[in-house]
Amino acid sequence: MIEIIPAIDIIEGKCVRLTKGDYDTKKVYNDDPLEVAKMMEANGMRRLHVVDLDGAKSQHIVNYNIIERIADHTSLVIDFGGGIKTDEDIDIAFGSGASLVTVGSVAVKEPELFGEWLEKYSPAKIILGADVKNGLISINGWKEEAGDQLMPFLERYVNKGVENVLCTDISKDGMLEGPATELYSKIMKQFPDIHLIASGGVSCIEDIEALDKAGIPAVVFGKALYEGKIKMEELKPYL
């Protein structure tokens, strides 16, 4: 059964969502991410995907205090991304209470450093962030096209021991028009042993059912939940 992972995106300490990664489309859903995390936990969620959008924009972790608060006041397994660019950043993330970290830009620009992190922290704690648009990897908060094609990029790192991949179809993100199920199925067909986390476009419970039927291991979603397109009771069978 597919793993359900709600997302909290953070700007200036608040829970927000963007559309296609555009900061000008920011919509604030709650001033306190901890309040949202507690609500998720109370409804049976066990894991949380936290993204530091300020960190992604400024190229270093900014909102690590939010991880600390969530880790201190819930038992949720936190996977954290956004602005992890240096040894100091990744140490801050784990030191603040993240159980896993999502890393994308470093994997593209500094593959040796990414390899060191895989070895130091283990593949079980590192998620390869593969944000994709028109088949190409995007980095630095989706502001920069890396030029790497998705499948060769994934193959390179799966061969180096990567077990966890978070793939976001940028064109779908925040659009509430359905996920790129065909793309994720293609990834799973080529790399059947990875723990793939699908991200972007989830609009209703039927989207999650379709991903589950396609054999996708996990899904991250947020906007559909915050907008009431998916009700908590609809998620109960997956928790």
Helix H, strand E, coil C: the string for the chain is CCEEEEEEEEECCEEEEEECCEEEEEEEEECCHHHHHHHHHHCCCCEEEEEEHHHHHHCCCCCHHHHHHHHHHCCCEEEEECCCCCHHHHHHHHHCCCCEEEECHHHHHCHHHHHHHHHHHCHHHEEEEEEEECCEEEECCCCEEEEEEHHHHHHHHHCCCCCEEEEEECCCCCCCCCCCHHHHHHHHHHCCCCEEEEECCCCCHHHHHHHHHCCCCEEEECHHHHCCCCCHHHHHHHC
CB atoms within 10 A of CB 191: 16
The pLDDT confidence band at residue 171, using thresholds 50, 70 and 90, is confident
Identify the pLDDT of residue 225.
94
The dihedrals phi and psi of 3, each to the nearest 5 degrees, come to -85, 130
pLDDT tens profile 199-239: 999 999 999 999 999 999 999 999 999 999 999 999 999 99
pLDDT, residue 176, reads 77
Looking at residue 22, its pLDDT comes to 81
Whether this model's pTM surpasses 0.75 = yes
Q: Does the pLDDT at position 146 exceed 70?
A: no
**Catalytic residue (one of 52, 54, 131, 207):** 131
Residues β-bridged to residue 198? 167, 219
Computed over every residue of the chain, the mean pLDDT equals: 93
Residue 122 has pLDDT above 60, yes or no: yes
User: Which position among 9, 54, 169, 207 bears the catalytic label?
Assistant: 9
- The mean per-residue pLDDT over the stretch 112-141 comes to 91
pLDDT tens, position by position, 8-29: 999 999 999 888 778 888 899 9
193 is catalytic: no
- Percentage above 70 pLDDT, the chain: 96
Give yes or no: 207 in active site: no
Q: What's the first-to-final CA gap in the chain, in angstroms?
A: 9
Q: How far is CA 9 from the centre of its chain?
A: 10
pLDDT digit string, tens, across residues 31-81: 999 999 999 999 999 999 999 999 999 999 999 999 999 999 999 999 999
